[in-house]
Structure 1
Amino acid sequence: MSRSIVRQSKFRHVFGQTVKAEQGYDDIRVSKVTWDSSFCAINPKFLAVIVESSGGGAFLVLPISKTGRVDKNYPLVIGHSGPVLDIDWCPHDDNILASCSEDCTAMVWQIPDHSLTRPISDPVVVLEGHSKRVGIVTWHPTARNILLTAGSDNLVIIWNVGTGEALISMDDHPDLIYSISWNRNGSLFCTTCKDRRLRVCDPRKREVVAERLAPHEGIRPMRAIFTRDGNIFTTGFTRMSQRELGLWDPTNFEEPIALLELDTSNGVLLPYYDADANMVYLCGKGDSSIRYFEITEEPPYVHYLNTFSSKEPQRGMGFMPKRGVDVTKCEIARLFKLLDKKCEPITMTVPRKSDLFQDDLYPDTAGPEPAMEAEEWLDGRDEDPILVSMRGGYMPPKSRELKVAKKNVLESRPTTRRSMSTLDTNSLPAVCLSRHHKKTDAEGYRGLIYQLGLSSDYSNLHLSYLLYRNGRIHSLWDKLL
């Protein structure tokens, strides 16, 4: 009996603490959109928070070191025309951020190393493929430039942001997708859905390889994440609306490895996973506490460690990648708690008397270098993350520009000229305008006619009408002239 109570683990006494007031971020107008995302994304360089904004969607990006009060006029990232629902930092470039919105698009942004001096409104690439709002965006863990999006059209689309093209589209979900998580090497991802099913998908085969109906019997939203050893950790609700967590083996979904009831709160439990320590931090929307658990190979498999509590309930939460923690203070995790008007960092430390580097707390962790290119992953290759040592701390590399080489739509067009009457005005290519057509309206129109493969006998007036029919091209034309 005593052996089960006193369990040997270096994480048994993880200690949570809120940083001093001046080390937080104040006067942030956190978004009030009713969407179960974390509203916050962190990496070793930047803090990004989805905020309230008029006339569209916006998010705030601050250098991690820029603590204290945020100026109310601090520039925002403002490209979306609808509220932003989710954001995610690229694991292979600390200056690249993806966002998705109610405007049915996802966008990829390049953030400069310094504090912003003016709003950013031009994304590196706009990804258009969903017909309804896009609620989930998440990067591939090991392949460069691979991004996954999921929308309310129940579609999962995987993109190559280096070319701006959709590589894979999956429509296996009959209802709203609640969450998506890649496994460690990015060969599979798991999803939870409003139809109460937990699915494991192989994107390159475009098929569901395993599924389980109602891992949690309640009808409230579920969340699921892959662990480092290939199991799936889930949070959900019982039939009596009690919050519950589970651990599953996707090769045998019949019985859970572990199932544990927690409490009767209403907020969806958002899990944040530390693959190096094999620990999970559970943060409920509207809760004022963070529970943390260790996943092990011996019963009961999911061990409760402790609860960090504070006074105010959280609106969202961000989780720092392991390479961003302070190894000199034995910090093993750092969470960023969003309140109504501010963001509070919370440090999780293991008390140690020695000032030396603690090898057992800091195994080599996933670094910023991708293990393969997008084309290699698409061709079937799988690679685990490239690891880096935490000894001596981690220094983020300087900004690297993301170059997007969009495929020329015109290259695949037939060279035969088409008459105006047979032209489908809704399929005009959005990339057919080039900057050398700026000279005059007349020359520009003639150049556009030539690029579209139309006869130049038609009047500029008729072409203007076509351009107005296709508002997207007309607005781009206005920018170029």
Structure 2
Amino acid sequence: MSRSIVRQSKFRHVFGQAAKAEQSYDDIRVSKVTWDSSFCAVNPKFLAVIVESSGGGAFLVLPLSKVGRVDKNYPLVIGHSGPVLDIDWCPHNDNILASGSEDTTTMVWQIPDHTPCRPISEPIVVLEGHSKRVGIVKWHPTARNILLTAGSDNLIIIWNVGTGEPLITMDDHPDLIYNVSWNYNGSLFCTTCKDRRLRVCDPRKREVVAERLSPHEGIRPMRAIFTKEGNIFTTGFTRMSQRELGLWDPTNFEEPIALLELDTSNGVLLPFYDPDTSMVYLCGKGDSSIRYFEITEEPPYVHYLSTYSSKEPQRGMGFMPKRGVDVSKCEIARLFKLHERKCEPIIMTVPRKVSKLVEEIQSLKATVLSQEKRICDLENKLSKYTNGTV
């Protein structure tokens, strides 16, 4: 009985393609802060990029349609007295964005639909509770006005943005927190930490409900994200400084579901997960490629699909929510790659099958060619008769 060697998957032929040059955003001075954030956040209305600025922290917010060269006097969002480290769009309101900064504050901003005449300097809420820089801001995926922040004081604070008051403060981390990820419905979040532990936290219980020491044995920073099934996908480094990815069941942290070595590059891998397709896109800072994988329930569980490669390395990356992609063109994801001076959309597309209409056109063309050949043969025959050569 014959068995197919190639694994069947509708995403096996997904390919990435950079947008045309005129569809990029040029002359953006991307921040040079040495912080492992993505420096970019995007939603169906706006593109936000953390930029270089004098006299404090700032970021640029552009309507998605405003492609091309950005005016050097384009109004920025200013207000932080220190560099901005992380930004995140609210999933429930496309005009609301949160920013965390080295000045220990988190600010929530209302971005107008029209282009402002002057810099936006008045946040709608200022959240003060951290004693050191705020490096992570994450909106709750399902509850309105709930924002999580994590700072270099090793604290995690969950805020009610409507009142500006902290709801929950957790101090379970003894060292710097590298990243935080909510699960699909927001009932849990996972964290990675400089103490090399992966933790699963229940904010309602205000405690760590599961943890794993050294999911990756290297000492370099790790990243972790929840999948829609409730497993945790991680990226990190081996003891020999090779980049590695893993898939874990938080109810049984003893052994990984999957563990896969990638390469020996230094850049921290930023994972972006699409729950609709169960695909994860890995973007390494300083890399010039984007690898993508499919997570399934059959071995080996994490399936390599393909790699999008370009010439220039990426400084950061933004990931468009699914409601912002053009499904009529078979687009399943759109990433926004930060270069040193510009932002370039990269479109991930599933090739559509040849439709019956195209097949019919091809069949008609073949028939026409056949008829034209037949006519040509008859005309040659007629010519021979009239010339008396036959």
Per the normalisation by structure 1, the TM-score is: 0.73
Which residue identity lines up with residue 319 of structure 1 in the other structure? F
Match of 2:105 in 1: 105
- Structure 1 residue ranges without an equivalent (≥5): 357-481
Q: Residues of 2 paired with 1:2 and 1:296: CA distance?
A: 23
Match of 1:276 in 2: 276
Where in structure 2 are the equivalents of 1:324-473 lying within 5 Å?
Answer: 324-353=324-353
* Secondary structure in structure 1 of the residue aligned to 2:61: strand
Q: Give the conservation status (yes or no) of the 8 Å contact 1:271–1:283.
A: yes
Distance 1:108 1:3, change over 3 A: farther
Distance 1:241 1:5, change over 3 A: farther
Q: Residues of 1 paired with 2:308 and 2:2: CA distance?
A: 25
Q: Residues of 1 paired with 2:103 and 2:347: CA distance?
A: 36
Where in structure 2 are the equivalents of 1:46-85 lying within 5 Å?
Answer: 46-85=46-85
Q: Residues of 2 paired with 1:136 and 1:26: CA distance?
A: 27
Match of 1:27 in 2: 27
* Secondary structure in structure 1 of the residue aligned to 2:323: helix
Matched, 1:296 2:304: no
Distance 1:3 1:51, change over 3 A: farther
Q: Residues of 1 paired with 2:114 and 2:79: CA distance?
A: 20
Q: CA deviation at 1:5?
A: 3.7
Match of 1:41 in 2: 41
Distance 1:144 1:2, change over 3 A: farther
Where in structure 2 are the equivalents of 1:188-199 lying within 5 Å?
Answer: 188-199=188-199
Could you give the per-residue CA deviations for residues 344-380 of structure 1, whole angstroms, max 9, x where no partner exists? 0000000104689xxxxxxxxxxxxxxxxxxxxxxxx
How many correspondences in the alignment?
356
Q: Residues of 1 paired with 2:309 and 2:354: CA distance?
A: 27
Matched, 1:320 2:320: yes
Q: CA deviation at 1:93?
A: 0.2
* Secondary structure in structure 2 of the residue aligned to 1:236: strand
Which residue identity lines up with residue 156 of structure 1 in the other structure? I
Q: Residues of 2 paired with 1:354 and 1:97: CA distance?
A: 42
RMSD over aligned CA atoms reads: 1.3
* Secondary structure in structure 1 of the residue aligned to 2:113: coil
Match of 1:410 in 2: none
Q: Residues of 2 paired with 1:190 and 1:249: CA distance?
A: 12
Per the normalisation by structure 2, the TM-score is: 0.90
* Secondary structure in structure 1 of the residue aligned to 2:136: strand
Match of 1:165 in 2: 165
* Secondary structure in structure 2 of the residue aligned to 1:184: coil
Which residue identity lines up with residue 58 of structure 1 in the other structure? A
Q: Residues of 1 paired with 2:192 and 2:4: CA distance?
A: 33
Q: Residues of 2 paired with 1:273 and 1:4: CA distance?
A: 28
Q: Residues of 1 paired with 2:272 and 2:129: CA distance?
A: 29
* Secondary structure in structure 2 of the residue aligned to 1:72: coil
Among all aligned residue pairs of Structure 1 and Structure 2, give the percentage whose two residues are the same amino acid. 89
Matched, 1:286 2:289: no
* Secondary structure in structure 2 of the residue aligned to 1:120: coil
Q: Which has the larger radius of gyration?
A: 2
Distance 1:7 1:27, change over 3 A: same
* Secondary structure in structure 2 of the residue aligned to 1:131: coil
Q: CA deviation at 1:4?
A: 7.0
Q: Residues of 1 paired with 2:9 and 2:118: CA distance?
A: 49
Q: Residues of 2 paired with 1:30 and 1:312: CA distance?
A: 15
Q: CA deviation at 1:328?
A: 1.2
Could you give the per-residue CA deviations for residues 238-297 of structure 1, whole angstroms, max 9, x where no partner exists? 000000000000000000000000000000000000000000000000000000000000
- Structure 2 residue ranges without an equivalent (≥5): 357-390
